[in-house]
Amino acid sequence: MAIDRPDGISSTMFTDSHCHLNFPELLSDLSAIRQAMSAAQVDRALCICTTLEGFATVHRLATDYGNFWATLGVHPDNEGVKEPSLQDLLSLGRLPRVVGIGETGLDYFRLGERSIADMAWQRERFRTHIRAARQLALPLVIHTRSASSDTLAILREEGEDGTPGSAGGVFHCFTETAEVARAALDLGFYISFSGILTFKSAQDLRDVAAFVPIDRLLIETDSPYLAPVPYRGKTNNPSLVALVAAQLAEIRHCKLERIGEITSRNFEMLFKGVLR
């Protein structure tokens, strides 16, 4: 498979704070993806876990390659998979190169015939992740879709308010309102933007990206999904995070180098394990 990569990007280094390199469409072309990352000056990536069954592959990516790290978690959308116990998360979360807990959170987008009350299992799963993150002193990687009020409420109920002892973390692939962004920032969380930021229909999101404090910004691909313009609709990969950075630089009226530097530094500040 040919790997799309941006051309004309400067020598600034970029960090993809959220990708799924263990998914088959990316894992099968890992060598080409790594070459494309190098060409686009994307020097680091965080490999995100979405099931306990898939954790071994995610973790192996982090241990096999010095510029990859791993998280541990079960995505709120995943049903019919091994349910994570607190002990599961605590034991696996202590393994080398695991630097975050998630992807976790709430997703009410595909309720179907179910009600929000029926999603109690999802809320309990989320609480388990928060409790593990707090005990491990690892940041949370938060997914929220059509569920921001409950997501924020549960974080507060579990003690996530930005004070000492909080796990903190990032609201990844942010698509919510400015009000939700403000609430997440007030709780001490970072905000990460994906290729959606480049979509023509995403002006409201660009407005949010304009006001988030620069020291709370992260960039990501969420690959293999959400490839930025002009690759929209194609398989995404971490090399294309440079295009998210370019869009963010335009929004913030600053140089691309500044976005690369600050988002990479923010990544290090949040995921402190990458510096060990």
Task: Convert the pLDDT of each residue in 173-203 to its tens digit.
Answer: 999 999 999 999 999 999 999 999 999 999 9
Average pLDDT on 91-116 reads 96
% of the chain with per-residue pLDDT over 90: 93
Rounded to an integer, what distance in angstroms lies between the CA atom of residue 15 and that of residue 95?
Answer: 22
Identity at 204, one-letter amino acid code: D
192 φ, ψ (degrees, to nearest 5): -115, 135
What's the pLDDT score for residue 137?
98
Confidence of residue 259 (pLDDT cuts 50, 70, 90): very high
Average pLDDT on 218-228 reads 98
183 φ, ψ (degrees, to nearest 5): -65, -40
Confidence of residue 4 (pLDDT cuts 50, 70, 90): low
Query: 232: buried, middle or exposed (CB in 10 Å: 19+, 13-18, 0-12)?
Result: middle
Token pair of 60, please?
């192996």
% of the chain with per-residue pLDDT over 70: 96
pLDDT tens string 123-132: 999 999 999 9
- Mean pLDDT rounded to a whole number for the chain: 95
What's the pLDDT score for residue 159?
97
In this predicted structure, the answer to whether residue 39 has a pLDDT above a threshold of 80 is yes
Rounded to an integer, what distance in angstroms lies between the CA atom of residue 157 and that of residue 197?
Answer: 31
In this predicted structure, the answer to whether residue 63 has a pLDDT above a threshold of 70 is yes
What's the pLDDT score for residue 276?
73
pTM: 0.95
